Structure 1
Amino acid sequence: MGYPASGKSSVAREFEKKGYAVLNRDKAGGTVAGLLPQFQQLLKAGKDVLLDNTFPTAESRRPFIEMHRKWADILLAPMSCLWMGTSIEDAQVNACHRMVQHFGHLPTPEEIKVSKSPNIYPPVVLFKYRKELEAPTTAEGFKVEKKPFIRHHPKTHTNAAILLDFDGTLRETISGRKFPNDPKDIKILLGRKKKLKQLQKDGVLLLGVSNQSGIAKGNPTEDQARACFDATLKQLGIKMEYLFCPHRVPPIGCWCRKPMPGLSVHFIEKYKLAPGKCTMVGDMTSDKTFATRSGFQYVDAKDFFA
Structure 2
Amino acid sequence: MKHPALFLDRDGVIIENCSNYVRSWADVAIFPQAVAALAAVRDCPYRIVLVTNQSAVGRGLISQATAEAINDRLLAHVRAAGGRIDAVYMCPHGPDDGCDCRKPLPGLLLRAAEELDIDLSRSVMIGDALSDVMAGQAAGARAVLLRTGRGGDQERLPGAADLPPFLVYDTLADALPAVIESP
Matched, 1:241 2:87: yes
Higher relative contact order (CA 8 A, sep 6+): 2
Q: Following the alignment from structure 1 to structure 2, what is the Cα–Cα distance between the partners of residues 211 and 244?
A: 6
Task: Go from structure 1 to structure 2 and tell me whether the alpha carbon gap of 1:185 and 1:241 turns closer, same or farther (over 3 Å shift).
Answer: same
The residue number in structure 1 matching 2:7 is: 163
Q: Following the alignment from structure 2 to structure 1, what is the Cα–Cα distance between the partners of residues 68 and 113?
A: 22
Structure index of larger Rg: 1
Residue-by-residue CA offset, 1:75-119 (whole Å, 9 max, x unaligned):
xxxxxxxxxxxxxxxxxxxxxxxxxxxxxxxxxxxxxxxxxxxxx
Q: What TM-score comes out, normalization by structure 2 length? A: 0.73
The residue number in structure 2 matching 1:263 is: 108
Residue from 137, 141, 145 that aligns with 1:300: 145
Matched, 1:211 2:42: no
The residue number in structure 2 matching 1:228 is: 70
Residue-by-residue CA offset, 1:6-47 (whole Å, 9 max, x unaligned):
xxxxxxxxxxxxxxxxxxxxxxxxxxxxxxxxxxxxxxxxxx
Q: Answer whether contact 1:282 1:301 (CA < 8 A) is retained.
A: yes
Q: Answer whether contact 1:188 1:235 (CA < 8 A) is retained.
A: no
Written as runs of structure 1 = structure 2, the 5 A alignment for 1:249-288 is: 249-250=95-96, 252-288=97-133
CA drift of 1:234 comes to 2.0
* Structure 1 gap segments, 5+ residues each: 1-155
Matched, 1:185 2:31: no
- Equivalenced residue count is 147
CA drift of 1:197 comes to 1.4
CA drift of 1:167 comes to 0.7
CA drift of 1:172 comes to 1.7
Q: Higher helix fraction: Structure 1 or Structure 2?
A: 1
- Aligned residue for 1:280, secondary structure, equals strand
Task: Go from structure 1 to structure 2 and tell me whether the alpha carbon gap of 1:190 and 1:301 turns closer, same or farther (over 3 Å shift).
Answer: farther
Q: What TM-score comes out, normalization by structure 1 length? A: 0.45
The residue number in structure 2 matching 1:41 is: none
Task: Go from structure 1 to structure 2 and tell me whether the alpha carbon gap of 1:171 and 1:178 turns closer, same or farther (over 3 Å shift).
Answer: farther
Q: Following the alignment from structure 2 to structure 1, what is the Cα–Cα distance between the partners of residues 20 and 76?
A: 20
Q: Answer whether contact 2:55 2:91 (CA < 8 A) is retained.
A: yes
CA RMSD of aligned residues (A): 1.8
Q: Answer whether contact 1:216 1:247 (CA < 8 A) is retained.
A: yes
Q: Answer whether contact 1:188 1:236 (CA < 8 A) is retained.
A: no
Q: Following the alignment from structure 2 to structure 1, what is the Cα–Cα distance between the partners of residues 173 and 30?
A: 12
CA drift of 1:229 comes to 0.8
Q: Following the alignment from structure 2 to structure 1, what is the Cα–Cα distance between the partners of residues 31 and 76?
A: 14
Q: Following the alignment from structure 2 to structure 1, what is the Cα–Cα distance between the partners of residues 86 and 21?
A: 19
The residue number in structure 2 matching 1:172 is: 16
The residue number in structure 1 matching 2:150 is: none
- Aligned residue for 1:200, secondary structure, equals coil
Q: Following the alignment from structure 2 to structure 1, what is the Cα–Cα distance between the partners of residues 70 and 114?
A: 26
CA drift of 1:178 comes to 4.0
- Aligned residue for 2:42, secondary structure, equals helix
Amino acid at match of 2:88: Y
- Aligned residue for 1:233, secondary structure, equals helix
* Structure 2 gap segments, 5+ residues each: 148-168, 175-183
CA drift of 1:240 comes to 2.8
